[in-house]
Amino acid sequence: YLFNVHDVQIPSPLVKTSPKVVASDRRDINVRSQIGGHLCGIRHAGLVKLMGAMNLPSPIQDQIYSKWDKNLLSSIKSLSDRSMRKAVDEAVTAANGRELMVSGDGFWQTRGFQSRHGAAALISCNTTPKVLDIETCS
């Protein structure tokens, strides 16, 4: 015989995973990878490629990713609204009144204002500028 195999019990490896997000069934690593995918502009398909290149397990299935995207969007909108309300309060306090100097800027996806997709931002013009409002059109 070339090999002599004995009946040996090998304990299964312990797979440690990230903690669950509070009040959710989602894992922290999945939430972070989804946000990272959005910030990098690669979304689900890009995450699949990235994880494959790094020899890591694939991210969650595309259908679940899309479902969680809707939850993520509502959370991000809520957080950004609170942040901008706080920024307005801080700008009013810094200016000692409600008359604020602001700067606004916007862009369209294509030139000539023919696009249906664009965004605009309103920023306070004091010593610590803050984003006071944003608007997207799509």
> Are 48 and 59 contacting, i.e. CB atoms less than 8 angstroms apart?
yes
pLDDT at 56: 82
Region 69-73: mean pLDDT is 86
Short-list 12, 24, 19, 18, CA closest to 57? 18
> Are 31 and 19 contacting, i.e. CB atoms less than 8 angstroms apart?
no
pLDDT, one tens digit per residue, over 3-27 is 555 566 666 665 667 888 888 888 8
pLDDT at 59: 81
**Lookup: tokens for 77:** 């909108």
pLDDT at 123: 95
Number of neighbours of residue 29 by Cβ within 10 angstroms? 14
pLDDT, one tens digit per residue, over 91-134 is 999 989 999 999 999 988 887 767 788 899 999 998 889 999 99
pLDDT at 7: 64
135 vs 100: CA distance, rounded Å: 19
pLDDT, one tens digit per residue, over 26-59 is 888 888 888 888 888 888 899 999 989 988 888 8
